[in-house]
Structures are given as structure tokens and as C-alpha cells.
Amino acid sequence: MREEQQFVSGLYARLDALREEAESAVQASLAQVGNGLQARLERDVMVAEQSGLLAAFDAGENGLCFGRLEFGDGRDHHIGRIGIRRADAERTPLVIDWRAEVARPFYLATGHTPMGLRRRRHITTEGRRVTALHDEILDLTDTTRTGHEAADADEVLLAALDSARTGRMHDIVQTIQAEQDRIIRAPHRGVLVVEGGPGTGKTVVALHRAAYLLYAHRELLAKRAVLVVGPNPAFLGYISEVLPALGETGVLLATPGELFPGVTATGTDTPAAARVKGRAEMADVLALALRDRQELPEPGAPLIIEHDDGELVLDWTIAYEAREAARAMELPHNLARPTFAFRIIDALTAQLAERIGHDPYGGPNFLGPDDIAQLGKGIAVSPEVHAAIEELWPTLTPQRFVDDYLAEPVHLSDEDAAAVRRAPGGAWTAADVPLLDEAAELLGKDDSAERARAEAERQRAVAYAQGVLDVSYASRTYEFEDKEESDPDGSEVLLAHDIIDAERMAERQEEADHRSAAERAAADRTWAFGHIIVDEAQELSAMAWRLLMRRCPTRSMTLVGDPAQTAESGGVGSWRDILSPYVADRWEYARLGVNYRTPAEIMEVAAEVPRAAGVVGFEPPSSVRSTGVRPWARCVGDLAAGVAEAVAAETPSVGRLAVVAPRALHEALAGKLDGVPAGGEPDLTRPVVLIDPRQAKGLEFDTVLVVEPALYGTSDLYVALTRATQHLGILHTTPLPPSLTHLS
Ligand SMILES: Nc1ncnc2c1ncn2[C@@H]1O[C@H](COP(=O)(O)OP(=O)(O)OP(=O)(O)O)[C@@H](O)[C@H]1O
């Protein structure tokens, strides 16, 4: 213990020194008021590099070092949350990043396959103090004993699983299990599907995979950012601290309803409307509806345009020919519009020239090319002509087009149209967001002026970056990284002088100077993410998948889900159905089978629900622990009073309790619960929260009280029953569903 404490103290001293160095470097750089480009360049490079380091150092503050590997060949490594090197000339690793290849036996070695290990040690710390050691002997011929050999090899894991919840998910670097490690480090770069029952660690594993990928492919992913999609804001809040605790900040967390910049989805759809809006056919329906917006005057009822040089007649034929020419461009609507406009202007010019320059005696037109050009100019700037063009081929924004469409839905059955119809200008819903995105694709954006500006800006940035390269010094951007020489991606340790390409440097500078890649990604509908993680992926509609696939042209994705937890109204069918349009069968599948959250006693009760409903292919995960505490059910006369009484009795002294109840009951229940608000997004860090079954998705609490289970659908009930890490109680006034009657 003393030895480890000494080591850990030394490690923190080094961390402090590094942090101080980085801080003063930032301060000094910021204080520089040097004139001219050179000073500014140096400052920007320095600030960007050191700020990245600082984020990682902050992450290292808690649980900096948690393991030690002693190999049979004498190698001896400490494993930590981030890698740190000594200040010596060789920059010897002091503690190895958990993501480095050399740290892998920490997670995978077993007595059967020791991977060269003699001893594996778990080091538990509180702040900077070492509080416990757990040793495992992997070489059975080794007779040395330290007195810390654990009787139960899973002691550290079980302690983590038993600990009181805080309302925020924690990282699991100290206790990643072998089946999880294989997923976290899966070499597959395309779509990886991770399935598993409740509590099997799908979410936490996906987040660690993001951290791993950011480490293994930092150059690419730091620039393109990682997107994590989760079902609702409370869930995103719940998982928001995991990646920062691992030193990673280049990640954007978003719900599907937040993926269209500039639109906030505040409305809600009926299940029927969400179903219709989510269907893949909506892509074709919108395309057809957009063609309908490319109109023609009725034959025989032309548009008459007043013009200085006389009346212009825009008839069916002129409009038809212009429309065919514009459609033949096969461009998005707004980008094809200039073709339509030019054709109309040309035709009207010809019409006017014919009328003005017409020789009544059959000779050639009196007007020369210059006169005709002049006429054309007059027509091209005529507001009346433009109004007519706008009427036939309107310039549309995605918002306007979808809003118009939902007010008058077409190309749908009467029933479906009735489900989605709404008054113009209504609030956007999450299911509208993929429609808006689809519309944006169909419409396109005439951004030629913007692009010209951006290109000029880029040229300036490249010139600037060239300057940076000239003054850059051989400092390590990520000095704490400790990739072994043998790592396939050993080149990840970035040296400023490695970045020989001024264009790439310009891109990096752009990020450093202004916003992070994640921030820029959040504001850019066409951003291509380096990797996307989708949690509760089974919930997404076909249209939402179209949107997500557009955000990830490389198809580097980790999709996490559990079909048994799919809510009835959303979701598409199988992974194959979801993925085959995008990646055919080039995706990999991994399954997690151990439930780390819910004790066996609770899992047994919960599993009855899908089983009784005959959910096809249902296979409950096996719980890693049992608590000996059985779930209970109580029939009460006054529901609100019964719930309040149970909350008072069951609220843990530390930890969290959730009351899961149908939304309609929230007002009544909240009235009896002190300081527990009804409605809105729950604050999960409070000791007691009131949520509905949909909000419970992905979350967990020490104690869960499920109210009126007979009112839930199968999957919602299954989700609600599998949220507790310790205790589960059920309160009801109406009879229990058959799958739960054995509890009464
Ligand atoms: N190896 C591990 N060490 C410690 N805790 C773990 C480990 N694996 C999972 N857990 C914990 O188990 C709980 C459940 O994990 P998580 O929420 O990721 O599961 P899930 O499969 O996404 O569940 P659900 O589908 O029910 O939302 C979390 O508290 C997580 O930290």
C-alpha cells in the first residue's frame, strides 16, 4: 500500500507539474501582445495545444491510476485514465493510457489465457489516496503473495455495481469486462451493431468505444468529431460526463430531434403521425410533393405580365419547356431554378422582340442582337416577371416546404394524411426533423456566393498556416499519450512538425481559433462526422436513419439497441432492414449477455413481461449479482398517498429513487411528493424524480417504484422494471397485468 501510495503521489505531482506548465503556457501566450502575424501564430498554436492537454489533465484528476500489470518477463506497467510520461530525456511512460495495446491484458487476461501476466492489480483510490488493492495471480507457479490477493476476483466490479447512483453515468475504465473490451476495441471501422438486454452495458460500452476510437484515430476523429445520438435530453444529461471523464471533449451529444440546425422540436406527434412521418416512403412522397410545386399555368389561362414594353404572355408551353429543361438538370429544386428562370426570360424576350421588331411585310426582324439583349435585360430585372417565375417555381426553404406540406398533405392515403395534417406554422416535432432534412436535400441551397467566400477565407487560412509551420516547434500535441512503438497507429503522437501540409494545418487552425469541431458540427447540417454512436437505435424511424446516414458518409457507426425494449409506436424492424439500404451486409454484430445493473431477483420478475407477451427471440440477460431483496407489489386505495408513503419509506439515504408513472398521473402524484415537479425534463441528480416510462429509457436508479403497470405496453413495462440497481416496488389500484400477478 505504501509503495503504491508513493507511486500515486508521485504521479499526481507529475500531473500537477504538467498542468501548471500547460496553464502558464496558455497564460503567457494569451498575455503576449506581440505585434504582427508571427506572434499571433505562435500564440494560437500554443493555446490550442495546451487547452487540449488541460482537458485531459482535468480528466486525470479522479482515478488517475487504477491498475498495474506485472508481466512474467519483468515488465511492470501502471494503467491509468490518461497516459503520462516522465520528464526525463526518454520520456519514459509513467502510467499507460488504458486504451493503449499494452494495457489490454488488464481487461482480457484470465488464468486460462494469462497473456504473459504474472499478476494483475486493481488500485482503488479516493482522491489522491490509495484505499485498497486487489491482486489476482495469473501465473499459478508464482508463489509470491502480497496479502492483497482477493478472495473474490470480482470484488472491484461488484463494489462498482453496488455503489449508490448519482444521477450521472460513470466511466468503467477500471472494470471493463472482457466481452465489453472486445466491442470497445473492435477493429471493424464500418457499422457495428451492439445488442443486449437491459443493463448489459451497451451505452457505457459505446461511449468507451468512442473514447477508444478518438485515441486510436485521433487525427481524423478530432477533426470530424464524434456524434452520440440518444433518445432524450435527460438521457444525454445522464451520459454527459462519461467522455469528459475520459479526457475526451470532441463529441457532440444530440437527440434525433436536434439534428436540424436552427429547428427546435418542441411539439409532440400522435403515435399515428410519428409512424407515418417515419416511414421510408415519405422520401418519395416529399419528392413528389416538391414536383407538384413546380407548376404550369392552366392551358388556355396564361399568366399575363405587365411590362414597360408591353404585356408578356407566359403560357403553358413556355412554362412546360422551361420546366423540362430545369428538371433535366437533375439538380435539387432551388439549384435548378435559375435554369427555369433563364428559360422563361429567354422565351419572354423572344416574344417581346417578335412583337416589337416584327416586319409586317414579312421581312426579317428589325431588332439587332444588341436590341434584343437590351430587351432581355429589361425582362430579367422586372419584378413582375420574377413574381411570375416565383409563382411557378418558388424558391423554398425546408421549413416552408414541410410546413406547407403538413398543412396540405398529398400522395398519402386519406387516413395517413389525416394523421399528419396540421395547421400551418405549428411547432416542429422530432419526427419532422428527418422530413426537414430530406427537404433540404431535395431543395438544395444555392450557396455559390457562400462557397466563393469560404474559398477565399480558406486561401487566407492556408497562408496563415504556412506561417505557423514556419514557426512551429517540435512540441508534442498530446504529450501524455503513450502509444507503443508496436501500435499500428503509432503515428498518432502528433508533433507540430509532422503536420507538413499547410492545408490540413489550416483546417486545424480553424478549429483552434474559433469553435471546436463538435461545435461547428452542431451548426452545420451537412457536417460529415467521423463516427456516430446511436443509442436506443431500435427506436429510430426509417426517415431518421436516412438523416443519420447522410451525417456519416464513411458509415463508421456504432449502433446500440435492444429489440425487446422497442416502444410500440416507433422503430423499424430488424437491423438487416435498417442497414441493408446503406451498407448491404457489410456490418458486424456483437451481443452482450450479462446484466450489470439489475439484480437477479428483479430481472426474474421483469423477464416475465416479454416472455408472457410471447416476444419473439426474447432472451433475458443473466444478472451478475443478486441482492436477496425481492421486488414487491402493493395494491393501494389512494394512489398518490400510497406512492408518497412508499417514496418516504424507500428513498435511499444516498442514491436516487425514481417513480415511473404514466404521464396522465404525474400531476396528481407530484402534488403529494415534496419538491418533485411534474412534467418537463427531469433533473436526474435530485434524490427523487418522477418520470414516464419513455423517459426511463436508458436510465437507472437505486430504487424504482413502478406505478399502475397495467397501463403500460409490454416494452415500456419491461424498460420500467429493469431500471433499478437495488430495489423495485410496484404500486397499483387497477389489477396487475397477468405477468406480474405472482407478486401480489
Ligand atoms: N464493466 C462494468 N463495470 C462497472 N459497471 C458496469 C460495467 N458494465 C456495465 N456497468 C454498469 O451497468 C449499468 C448499465 O449499463 P448501461 O446503461 O450501459 O446498460 P444498457 O445495456 O445500455 O442498458 P439499457 O438497455 O437498459 O439502457 C451502468 O451503471 C454501467 O455503468
Residues contacting residue 186 through CB under 8 Å, at least 6 positions apart: 192, 209, 588, 590
Residue 596 CA to ligand 1 center (angstroms) comes to 6
Q: DSSP label at 314?
A: E
Counting ligand 1 atoms within 8 A of each CB, the residue from 107, 154, 161 with the most, and so the one to mutate, is: 161
Residues contacting residue 43 through CB under 8 Å, at least 6 positions apart: 29, 30, 32, 34
Residue of the nearest CA to atom 16 in ligand 1?
A: 201
The SS3 of residue 462 is helix
Counting ligand 1 atoms within 8 A of each CB, the residue from 170, 203, 235, 695 with the most, and so the one to mutate, is: 203
**pTM, two decimal places:** 0.85
CB atoms near residue 399 (< 10 Å): 17
Q: Is 161 in the pocket of ligand 1 (CB under 6 A)?
A: yes
| pLDDT at residue 255, rounded to an integer | 92
Q: Is 294 in the pocket of ligand 1 (CB under 6 A)?
A: no
Q: What is the DSSP string of 36-92?
A: HHHHHHHHHHHHHHHHHHHHHHHHHTSSSEEEEEEETTS-EEEEESS-EE-SSTT--
Beta bridge pairs of residue 707:
731
Phi, psi of 587 (to 5 degrees): -135, 155
Burial of 252 (0-12, 13-18, 19+ CB in 10 A): buried
Residue 21 CA to ligand 1 center (angstroms) comes to 37
The residue whose grid cell reads 487552425 is 509
Annotated binding site: 196-203
The residue whose grid cell reads 438538370 is 329
| pLDDT at residue 309, rounded to an integer | 78
Q: Is 106 in the pocket of ligand 1 (CB under 6 A)?
A: no
Please, are residues 15 and 26 in contact by the beta-carbon 8 Å criterion?
no
Query: Given the CA of residue 177, which atom of ligand 1 is nearest to it?
Result: 1
Please, are residues 79 and 506 in contact by the beta-carbon 8 Å criterion?
no
Q: What are 215-221's contacts with CB under 8 Å, separation 24+?
A: 215/97, 215/99, 215/481, 215/492, 216/99, 216/489, 216/492, 217/489, 217/492, 217/530, 218/478, 218/492, 218/494, 219/492, 219/494, 220/530, 221/250, 221/530, 221/531
ipTM over 0.90: yes
Q: DSSP label at 291?
A: H
Counting ligand 1 atoms within 8 A of each CB, the residue from 106, 163, 193, 596 with the most, and so the one to mutate, is: 596
- Name the architecture of domain 600-732: 3-Layer(aba) Sandwich (3.40)
Q: Where are the domains of the chain?
A: 1-164, 178-260+527-594, 271-435, 446-471+498-524, 600-732
Q: Is 597 in the pocket of ligand 1 (CB under 6 A)?
A: yes
Query: Given the CA of residue 205, which atom of ligand 1 is nearest to it?
Result: 18
Residue 89 CA to ligand 1 center (angstroms) comes to 42
Q: How far apart are CA 700 and CA 703, in angstroms?
A: 9
| pLDDT at residue 222, rounded to an integer | 77
Cα dihedral 215, 217, 219, 220 sign: negative
Q: How far apart are CA 622 and CA 486, in angstroms?
A: 38
* Radius of gyration, CA atoms only, the chain: 32
Residues in the chain predicted with pLDDT less than 50, given as ranges, are: 468-501, 511-514, 568-570
Query: Given the CA of residue 161, which atom of ligand 1 is nearest to it?
Result: 5
How confident is the model over 425-440, as pLDDT tens digits? 999 999 999 999 999 9
Q: How far apart are CA 241 and CA 65, in angstroms?
A: 19
| pLDDT at residue 434, rounded to an integer | 97
Q: What is the DSSP string of 356-405?
A: HS--TTS---S--HHHHHHHHHHHHT-HHHHHHHHHHS----HHHHHHHH
Q: Are 178-260+527-594 and 600-732 equal in CATH topology? A: yes
Burial of 587 (0-12, 13-18, 19+ CB in 10 A): buried
Residue 515 CA to ligand 1 center (angstroms) comes to 32
- Selection from 179, 199, 162, 177 nearest residue 595 by Cα: 199
CATH number of 178-260+527-594: 3.40.50.300
Q: DSSP label at 282?
A: H
Q: How far apart are CA 398 and CA 293, in angstroms?
A: 13
